Amino acid sequence: MNQFITAVLTSLSSGAIYALMSLSLVLVWRSTRVVNFAQAGQAVLTTYIGYAVIQKTGSYWIALLVAVVSGAVIGAIIDRFFMRPIFKRITSGPIVMIAPVVATLGLLGIIQAIIGFVWGLTNQSIETPVSNAGLSLNGTVVAFSLYNALVLVIVTLVMVLLTLLFQKTNIGLALRASAYSPEIAKLSGIKVDAVRTLGWAIAGAASGLAGMLYIPNTYLYPNAMDVLLVFGFIAAVIGGLESMAGAVAGAMVLGFAINFSTSYISTKLVFPTAFVVLILVLLVKPSGLFAAKKGRSA
Amino acid sequence: MSGLVVENLTIDHGAIRAINKVSFKVPQGKLSAIIGANGAGKTTLLRTLSGLKDAQSGSATWNGKSILRQKPEDLARSGIMHVSDGKSVIAELTVKENLALAGLWRKDKADVAKATDEAIELFPRLGERLQQSAGSLSGGERQMLAIGRALIARPKLLLLDEPSLGLAPLIIEQIFQTIKTLTAKMNLTVVLVEQNAIGALKIADEGVVLNLGSVVAVDNAQTLLNDPAVRAAYLGF
């Protein structure tokens, strides 16, 4: 019973971190049709910035705030000064789809190289702000800590805030309209380019949060977020790529699949499970388990 | 001159010259119908006037100011609203959200609310479906929603692309009558692009007949309707 409860709890807290990453990817995909490989670089860069803040101030919480804000700023800068010029120059042919994606791959390499140059390639670590020791349940210690619980609470709170932002505010309406139909949004007077940059900023902030929540459980090095990028993508694909709720649900499916297979079968099953889930979803329902409903096409 | 003035406008669509040295004027407060068969270049012309496409040469001015090489969102904010062809609504958003789009950037929120009420009064069907997704609407309702949304920006110049496309005759009649009423009531200037030449000319002040990218006739709409040569060659009746 303890094993089951622990598996559920760890599924939720790791799923929560995957959700932040898949949400970042979906936000960028929806608003600019770019699969953003650089998201892993952005997330690890902001975590290094957070690490530097901890070195200076000793406060995890100040570092978290700085990482999230710098994530937003870096996301906006990448869109404004990197992606937007690319889209301006390339307007037709198959290269339209490929060039921006390859550009993000290049950007990922550049960011990771800069990090290595500034901070070196050795592992650094960030201490958890609250105890990461397993809690005791019915007298036995389980693999779920106070820190895991904190992660779950923070991510839930952020999801609620994002939902309110997207569903209840004018900015959210502009973000959704620009994602669904840039042309109609422009013709309605919405500054779609600026709205897209805002989408990149929100995605950058979310991945910045993901980095600061994920790294304390492991080590910080230039490629530290690559794994999360892969899981984020898988979660996004399970969720149908278009839907934010789908991204979160996909992340939870992945979190449960990974934690249950590693808890009940073998700890070596992290990646095999992730890819089996991905391939099953692609075979059974390629549009994603939670693809957004389309209106009637008549 | 106040109003829309298009002079020697030339537009390429890919490798094809879609619009070749087209000139016409729409005085303020008037309704001009641009008619012609499929492929005459009508949609390309409208997309250029609303900033979605670049022109190769020529000029287009609205009340004396050039509207070429400007962003569509800036033109929209200056009162030039383009209702693009087909079902120009965002299917994933609700009817209410679709209407709100054209008022998001407006400072005068009280007037946005008033304009929204007026649009719903004009198209009561929309009022009954505010919380429904626009994707669940019929073709006629979508056209009403697209026009209603444009009105919320308090436009001066309305560019309408084939509002009758794919609609039942009874609805077409209703949409055309609404366009005519609006033009007079709101002192709108309207460019109405249509394949449905008879319906469009009946409500228009002037008609511009396009054929393969060139203007072949410009005249009073009634005169065009009654001109046997124009009817036989371009209107097909």
* ipTM field: 0.93
Would you give the DSSP letter of residue B28? T
Contacts of B102 in chain A (CB under 8 A): 188-189
End-to-end CA distance of chain B: 35
Output B67 or B36, whichever has higher pLDDT: B67
pLDDT of residue B230: 79
CA atoms within 13 A on the CB side of B203: 23
Is A150's Cβ below 8 Å from some Cβ in B? no
| A137: in domain | yes
Q: Which domain holds residue A62?
A: 2-284
pLDDT of residue A294: 46
Q: What is the pLDDT along chain A (298 residues), one digit of tens a residue?
A: 788 988 999 999 999 999 999 999 999 998 888 999 999 999 999 999 999 999 999 999 999 999 999 999 999 999 999 999 988 888 777 787 888 899 999 999 999 999 999 999 999 999 999 999 988 877 888 888 999 999 999 999 999 999 999 999 999 999 999 999 999 999 999 999 999 999 999 999 999 999 999 999 999 999 999 999 999 999 999 998 888 899 999 999 999 999 999 989 988 989 999 999 999 988 988 888 876 554 433 3
pLDDT band at residue B86 using 50, 70 and 90 as cut-offs:
low
Provide, rounded to the nearest whole percent, the portion of chain B with pLDDT above 90.
76
| A173: in domain | yes
- Asked if A170 lies within 8 A of B100 by C-beta distance, the reply is yes
Amino acid present at B152: I
From the list A173, A187, A296, which residue is nearest B97 (CB)? A173
| A255: in domain | yes
Strand partners, B83: B160
| A70: in domain | yes
Give the strand pairing for B16-27 and B31-35: unpaired
Averaged pLDDT for residues B41-56: 93
Q: Domain count for chain A, please give it.
A: 1
The answer for B 128-187 residues in CB contact with A (under 8 A) is: 133-139, 149, 153
Contacts of A194 in chain B (CB under 8 A): none
Contacts of B77 in chain A (CB under 8 A): 189
| CA distances, B195 to each of B82, B171, B200, B236 (Å) | 17, 16, 8, 11
On whether the CB atoms of residues B45 and B34 are closer than 8 A, the answer is: yes
On whether the CB atoms of residues A193 and A185 are closer than 8 A, the answer is: no
| A179: in domain | yes
Q: What is the pTM of this model?
A: 0.90
The answer for A 179-218 residues in CB contact with B (under 8 A) is: 180-181, 183-192
Is A142's Cβ below 8 Å from some Cβ in B? no
| A293: in domain | no
Query: Which of the residue ranges A19-23, A87-91, B50-54, B189-193 would you say has the lowest mean pLDDT?
Result: A87-91
- Domains along chain B with CATH numbers: 3-89+155-235 (3.40.50.300)
Structure tokens given for A283: 């075979």
pLDDT band at residue B236 using 50, 70 and 90 as cut-offs:
low
| A289: in domain | no
